[in-house]
Structures are given as structure tokens and as C-alpha cells.
Amino acid sequence: MVSTALESGLQIAGKTFNSRLLIGTSRYPNQQVMLDAISASGAEIVTVSVRRVSFESGGEGLFDLLRGKYQFLPNTAGCFTARDAVITAELASEALETKWVKLEVIGDEETLFPDVEELLKAAEELVKKDFVVLPYCNDDPITCKKLQDIGCAAVMPLAAPIGSGMGIRNPYNLRIIREQCSLPLIVDAGVGTASDAALAMELGMDGVLLNTAVAGAQNPIRMAKAMKLGIQGGRLAFESGRIPRKLYATASSPSEGMADL
């Protein structure tokens, strides 16, 4: 009997989403391409950068276009301290009327890797303030476990540096994180194409969050659909249980009962 877990969808903080793809709203050629790509992806959760949009003309229009259609996941992109991240999350909560937040606390501008110490402080404070916290973090099992223990709603380890398109560089760490964490795990950052997304799901991740891979593609709308199908195929493969790897061949047709020639 085929597992029905795929049909149950992605569950975060008591909400169920049919799509396991979370998608960003930046770097698209124009707003119409963004809207069409999000629609093609099937995503139900969209990330928005409050710090970026609030300083751009027409920023409010973006929220108006998406409001009521998607679950907003405002992010704290551009924050380098726990204090700035908490303040940004609180401003986003007021502006978008949501307690959900993608928590980012960046360590430096070149790698955009998280500052773990500041990230943990911000996560703890926001959880105490009843936020639904989805932290972007390193692919470090210890950090992920600490974020789970703090009370985050999901944990989002990176696959590779933000916007790099390098794909999953350390699948073994993701497997360890999967074994040690019971929370929803969402691969965030570094996905470049549909096969990367499929691999993330085959490793047991619950979802994939991406932006540049779609927004920066030559055809964002078609790439968004490819990501959707990659995630669906990868998740179904994970639930189906792959055959074990073997060094030598195993005949697909049994030799017993063959005609003696």
C-alpha cells in the first residue's frame, strides 16, 4: 500500500500546506513574472524581506498583490545582530499581521553564513514572544538540535551559500540532522535546479525554500514548475523506500526456472 504521508502535506505550527515548496519574492525581472512563477510553483508560503521592501517604491503593492493568497513568511534578511532581527520581526508582525518569521542573523556579508550565537539568542527571544520561528541556520546537527529545543516551529539548514546554486554540498550532515530532529526540516539556500530539490526530499527533508534558483533562471516560470515537480518526485521516492546500493550487479530476472539450452 502506498504511503499517504505525501497527501498529508507539510505541517508547521498546526497548519497544513499541500505544497512542500516555499518561495521568495525578490530578484525577479518584474512583478508579473514573480506572480506567474509563484503560481506555477504551487507554493503556499512566500517569503518577503520587510527591510528591503519597506525602502523601495511600490513595496506596499507587493504585499497587496500577495495578501490573502499566501501565507506570509517575512524574513529578517540583512540583520547582523539578535537585537536587529527581533526588532525587524516585530515590525513585520505589525505590518503583515502575522507572527510567522523566517529568522536570519547573518555573520558576514561575503558568505552570508549565519551567526550561530546571535541566531540562538534571537530565536529564544522570539519564541518567548510567541512567534512562529523558522530559523535559517548552518547544516550543523548541534545547532539544529538547539533550535529545536528552544521551541522553533521548524529548522532550515542551508544546502550551500545563499544564491550560490551549488546544490546540497553535505548530504551526510542533513541525514544526521534528520535522525536527530523531529521538527519539520526545510532546506534553505543553495538549491540551483530541480535535481537539488529532489535530492533534499530524498534525504528526508520536509520542504525546500528557494528564491534565486527560480528568479534568476532564464525562464523563471518554467523553472518554478520544475522545482514543484522535483520536490513532489523526491518526496514520493523517499516515502517509497529506495533499493539498497550494491557494489555488484543483481540480475533483475531470476535464473531459476530458465530453459536449459
- Using CB atoms within 10 Å of the CB of residue 236, give its burial: 0 to 12 exposed, 13 to 18 middle, 19+ buried: middle
- The question of whether 102 is a catalytic residue gets the answer yes
How many CA within 13 A on the CB side of residue 91? 15
User: What gap in Å lies between CA 238 and CA 37, rounded to an integer?
Assistant: 26
Query: Beta strand pairing status for 10-12 and 15-17?
Result: antiparallel
Q: Which of 231, 221, 154 has its CA nearest to residue 191?
A: 231
Q: Which of 203, 202, 223 has its CA nearest to residue 212?
A: 223
Which residue of the set 102, 121, 146, 225 is catalytic? 102
User: What gap in Å lies between CA 85 and CA 118, rounded to an integer?
Assistant: 9
Taking CA atoms, 234 is separated from 172, 190, 202, 220, in Å, by: 17, 17, 5, 21
Positions annotated as catalytic residues are 102
